[in-house]
Structure formats: structure tokens, C-alpha cells
Amino acid sequence: MRAMLDVPEVTVLGAAMGRTGSTLLGTLTSLWSGEAIGGQNVNEAKRLRVPEYGYRVALVTGVQPGNADILMQEDVTGLPQRILWATTRDPDAPQERPHRPSGDLGFDAGKLSKLQPSEFEIDGLYQAGGYEKCRSENGNIVYPFHVIEYPAAVFEEVDADGLNRLHGARPDGMDGHSLLVTIKTAGLLAILEQRVGAALIVTEEDWQRAKYIVAKSRQTREVCVNDSRIIRRGKRCERLADDLIAKSEAKEAVNYERYARRITKALGKYDNEHEGIKGYMIQRKTGIPTSDTYQTISRMYEEGLLEKIGPEVEGTGSQLWALSSVRP
């Protein structure tokens, strides 16, 4: 069984992983490792178990930097480390669109048919429930395996990585699975080359190219992570700014209503003849801070709650003010 999962937007994947009771995250990590998958349904007739070595799955998804956290937040489970990251940017793209490439890829998928298990062998694997149960009468495992050969340098790096892991000296961070990703990439490069008589032999050149690809993947991932952090910080700043503005406006509205009541009360008490009181005297009688007094008076005047008495003078503090004779 082979499947190609194409998820155009990672938010769709995130929504599926975030559903209550979802096991998608664990399934994806198992798929990447080629482990047996499936659920243990109560109804035996509805149980679906996909055995190890009985499938191949690839997943491609699009990630906007602002949504990269959907994958990055699962770094403890190793999900983002299991992914090869590639950028869609091309700083060297020409001004004019080039002609469409001609010819074929050069890879003949038909040549792989000799390496594939037959339908009969696949059915036997699923019925047995695992390759270790597919045995002949002599007890030998009969499910076909093809071993990819790697250069000695790969084994040396794997041994060194294993020793570092045991000693607790493996570097922390996002590269805990990078060696296995490199091994898989090198094997894929060797298969794509379709070298006659050496289709399943990884060369030193394959290994170096795989290391280059994985290194570029890490760079792309870090750029995406940094862009995501900048975007998230920007959004948080905007939310905080909105909160501060809202609080300031709410405080200003409360203060205005409170100050307006005090000014109205003072004018009603000390200006019975409607002759007006100068702004600075209103401030003294109400005890409101000077700047707040003048701002409140100006706003009350704009809203028709106050009127100017006598000639208009420069400065709110020198102007005579009285309650409006025509209330709005």
C-alpha cells in the first residue's frame, strides 16, 4: 500500500491534530518510522491494522511562516525534526518567466517493480499481521526484503551518535532525528540514480549530497521559525497595544463623566445668576487637575453642555463659562 498525502495548508493538518481524541500526531510519527499502525476497535470486523513493511506514505504540506508553530510546538514528539523543509523563494529568479522545462524527469518507476513485493506477498503480510509471522514450513521469513548498502562513514556517524546519546552528550535542540533523516535521504538519492547493478548502493557522493540537503532543510526551518516568532511577537504587541488603548480610553471616559458632574455641580452652586465663572476658578472650586479641568470644559462646550459668557478670550482658564441655557 502506498499513499501520497498532499495537504496544501498546514492549518488543516493542525486542526485535525487538535481535535479531541485525535491520534493523528502519533500516527504521523509512526508513519515516518515505518511502524505498524492502526486502531484496536472493539468490533473485530472493523479493526484495521497496517503491518510494518506493508506500506509507504509520503506527506507534503505548505507552511506559511506565521503558521509554523503548528509543527514547531510538537518538537517534543519529534514531528518537525522528521520533516525536510524547503523554501519556495528564489532570489535568483529571472525577471522574465522562463520556458517550461521539456523532457522527462529521467527516473523510470517501472524499474522498481522488481524490488516490490507481489500482491500475493502483501496479502500474506496483512493476513499474518507482521513480517516476522510470514514464515515457510522451515520457519524462515519469506517476506522479501532488499537491503540498501551504505558506506562505512555512515556507520561511523551512527555509532558516534549512539554513543553521544548514551553519554547524554547529544546536542539539544531540533536535530535529534537529523541523522536518520539524512540516511533516508541518501537512500532515496541512490534509488533515484538507478545505477545499473548498484541500484541499492549508497555512494559517498550520495551521502554528502544528503547531508547538504538536510543542512539546507535545517536552515530553511530556522528561517521559518524566526519569521514565525517575529510575526507572533508583532501580533502580541498589537493586542497589548489595543488593550492599553482600550484601557486608556475607558479611563478617559470614566474621568470625563466624573469631572463633568463636578463641574456641573460647581456651576450650579456658584453661578446662580448665570454670569459665568472663569476656567481657573472652576478648577479651584472642583479640585480637578488643571489640564483635566480645561479638557473637560472644552469637551462639555463641544457637546453643548457649557456656553461662553461675554467676549471670547484666549485660553480656557481666562474664559467665563456657564451652564448652557439650552441643554442638548
Q: Are 299 and 263 in contact (CB under 8 A)?
A: no
- CATH number, domain containing residue 301: 1.10.10
Are residues 217 and 277 part of one domain?
Answer: no
Judgement on whether residues 167 and 309 belong to the same structural domain of the protein: no
**Residues 177 and 288 reside in one and the same domain:** no
Tell whether 300 and 222 lie within a shared domain: no
Same domain, 212 and 292: no
- State whether 199 and 310 are in the same domain: no
- How many other CB atoms are there within 10 angstroms of residue 82's CB atom? 21
Task: Tell me, yes or no, whether 175 and 293 share the same domain.
Answer: no
Say if residues 290 and 283 touch (Cβ distance below 8 Å): yes
The verdict on 166 and 222 lying in the same domain is yes
pLDDT per residue, tens digit, the chain (328 aa), is 788 999 999 999 999 998 888 888 888 888 888 888 886 666 666 677 889 988 889 999 999 888 888 888 888 777 888 889 999 988 899 999 999 888 877 888 888 888 888 888 889 898 888 888 888 888 888 888 889 999 999 999 999 988 988 988 776 666 767 888 999 999 999 999 999 889 899 999 999 999 999 999 999 998 888 888 888 888 888 888 888 888 888 888 899 999 999 999 999 999 988 899 999 999 999 999 999 999 999 999 999 999 999 998 889 999 999 999 876 6
Residue where one domain finishes, among candidates 188, 215, 237: 237
pLDDT value for 41: 64
Which pLDDT does position 205 carry in this prediction? 96
Q: In the listed set 215, 237, 259, which residue is the last one of a domain according to the structure?
A: 237
Q: Give yes or no: residues 233 and 289 share one domain.
A: no
Distance CA 83, CA 70 (A): 13
Q: What is the pLDDT at residue 171?
A: 67
Total number of domains constituting the chain: 2
Is 61 found in the same domain as 162? yes
Other C-beta atoms closer than 10 Å to the C-beta of 186 total: 26
What pLDDT, on a 0 to 100 scale, did the predictor assign at position 40? Answer: 64
Radius of gyration of the chain (CA): 37
Measured from the Cβ of residue 316, the count of other Cβ atoms closer than 10 Å reads 20
In a domain, 249, yes or no: no
In a domain, 95, yes or no: no
Distance, CA of 170 to CA of 176 (rounded, Å): 8
Do residues 282 and 321 lie in contact, with contact meaning Cβ atoms separated by under 8 Å?
yes
Pair 229, 317 in one domain: no
Q: In terms of domains, do 296 and 178 share one?
A: no
What is the structure's pLDDT at 156? 94
Please tell me the total number of residues recorded for the chain in this structure. 328
- Coil, helix or strand at residue 3: strand
Residue 266 lies in a domain: no
Q: Is 304 left (phi over 0), alpha (psi -120 to 50) or beta?
A: left
Question: Beta partners for 207?
Answer: none
The per-residue pLDDT for 305 is: 93
Range of the domain at 283: 271-323
Residue 324 C-alpha cell reads as 448652557
Contacts of 193 (CB under 8 A, 6+ apart): 199, 206
